[in-house]
Structures are given as structure tokens and as C-alpha cells.
Copies of this chain bind each other. A is one copy, B any other.
Amino acid sequence: MPDSGTRPDLAAIKEAAERISGLVHRTPLLRSRSLERMFDGKLHCKCEHLQRVGAFKARGAANAVFSLSDKELGKGVATHSSGNHGAAVALAAGTRGTQAWVVMPENAPAVKRRAVESYGANIVSCRPGLANREAALQKLVDEKGVQVIHPYNDYRVIAGQGTVALEIMEQQGDIDLLLVPVGGGGLLSGSLLVIKELRPQVQVIGIEPACADDARQSLDSGERVIIDSPDTIADGLRASLGDKTFPIIAELVDDIVTVSEDAIRDATRLVWERMKQLIEPSAAVPVAALLEQQIELKGRRAALVFTGGNVDLDRLPWQQREGP
């Protein structure tokens, strides 16, 4: 893994915003009258499900890829994320005219394979399991000299994801609460670096599935806890914090809240029904926390991030009560 630079500050995140502005959308903030009435406060929803590739991941991948020199880019880039980050790396690489390789287990769903292919990536199949994926990725580094773009444990990626919070503050600077889903922690750490420098009085809360509560456990124990392959419907939040994201979150976050699988399903459906926005379950955890009254909105002005909208429409979250 090459060096990903140093921990970004607000200035670095503003530079990232500039760097990626030609590729990513400035997504809208949406409000919902019925959700605001339900939770009795202001709720501005940052629509990253309307972002390129359908997820905020477009930002971090673009910042990392665009930070590379033409020489570094010459041999291509690679990742072993088969989700939104894989598509994001492929898009950014294609924009810069270089190749992207995405390592995927041979049992990955065809729908994910097609999505990554549709952005022009080369797929490298491997046997299932993290060790096999990492070995396949290392082989690409050794044989082709590709640059690896990690989905979250990379300061350039963290800076890119931080541009979400930067835009929220430009669009609605008077919020007093920001709710962010937590998987590997790239979006949360990037957001904290923006908010705590720009307007530290804004409370920032991370939300994760109770059955993938590595961030909560890490905060409690003071040491980074890793949960291997947790089983949650919020498939974008299965990763554990990395050694670059954990220290930022431990230092700056106001709280980490966990939510049940049922609340995640109910929240996803609520947003589809009331807001007509097709978000993926990972994006619904802030609303799940409101539904479970773990976070009180009454009289407050909150923003939350709808992190992505990539869902298999043949198998909806509420048609999977039997477990993922």
C-alpha cells in the first residue's frame, strides 16, 4: 500500500473539492415535510444517492485518483471493493484515461459484477475470503505496478469524502447536528475534519448497525476492534474502522449510536414511501436511529447523509426478513 499522504485539514479538503469538481455532482439537500413532522425538527438530507455511481464513494475515489501523477497513473489503479467504491474507482480511472482493476470473489452477485464492468473496469476473479482478495490485489501490484486505492483507509479518500460535509455547510450552514453512517469510517472521519474546524459546535454522530458495531466497541475500549464479516442488511457498513480513520473518529466524534436490522428496514421503507427517494439500507441508518428514538430531533436543525442508492430491485430489503 503506497503512502496516502498526511491527515487532511480543512484546507486540504477544500483542495479536494476543487480537484474533483469536474467529475462529481453538487448534490441537493432535500427536506421532507412528513419526516420533519414525525420527528419534530428540521432534517436536511444530503442526496449522495444522486451522486455519480449512485454513492458518495465517487468523491473519495476521484480525489485519490486525481491526486496521482500521470506517471503514477500510467500503470492503472486497483481495488478489491466490489461495491460502490469499485465503481467509483473505475469511473475516476476512466476519466483520467487509465485502466482500473477490481478484484471480486467468483461468487459475487452478477448484478455487482455488471455494475463495475459498466464503468469500464477490468474484473479479476478470485476465491472468496478477504485473504484471497488481498493476495489477488497484491499480485496486481507486483505484476502490473498498479496503484491501490483503499476504500477508506487512505487520507486522499478521507479528504474526498469530507467534501460532503463541506457542501452541506455551504448549503445549510445553520445546522446543529450531523448524522453520518459508519462503515470503514471514511465519510465520518472526513466529515469530522471539516465540521470540527469550521463549526465545532455542530454535534456529529456516527450511526452503525448493532450487529456491525465495531466503531462503538472501539470507542468504548479505546482500541480498534475488528468485526469479521458481520451479517447486516446494510451491506455498505460491513467494514471495520481502519488505522487512519479510527484515531480521527476517536478524537473528534460526539457519539456513535447503533441501530437494529428491523429499524434499518423500516427506515429504508419510510424514506422510499414518504420521500420517494430510493436509498440503500446503509443510507437509512440515521433515520433508523430517529425511529428508535436513540437520537432526539425535537427543536433541532439536523442534516444527514443519504450515502447511496444502489439496491437490487428484484430483492427489496423488506422482502428479505429471513436474513441476508
Contacts and interface: CB of A to CB of B under 8 A. Distances in A.
Which of A269, A278, A314 has the largest number of chain B CB atoms within 10 A?
A278
Interface of A: 28, 30, 33, 49-50, 52, 54, 269, 272-273, 275-279, 309, 313-314, 316, 318
Contacts of A28: 28
A35 B272 CA distance: 21
Total identical chains: 2
Given A277-B278, A278-B278, A269 B50 contact: no
B278 A272 contact: yes
List the 3 shortest-distance A-B pairs measured between CB atoms, nearest first. A276-B309, A276-B278, A49-B276
Contacts of A272: 278, 313
A279 to B, nearest CB: 7
B309 A318 contact: no
A184 to B, nearest CB: 23
Given A277-B276, A278-B277, A313 B318 contact: yes
A277 B316 CA distance: 15
A313 B50 CA distance: 21
Contacts of A313: 269, 272-273, 316, 318
Contacts of A276: 49-50, 54, 277-279, 309
Nearest to A273: B313
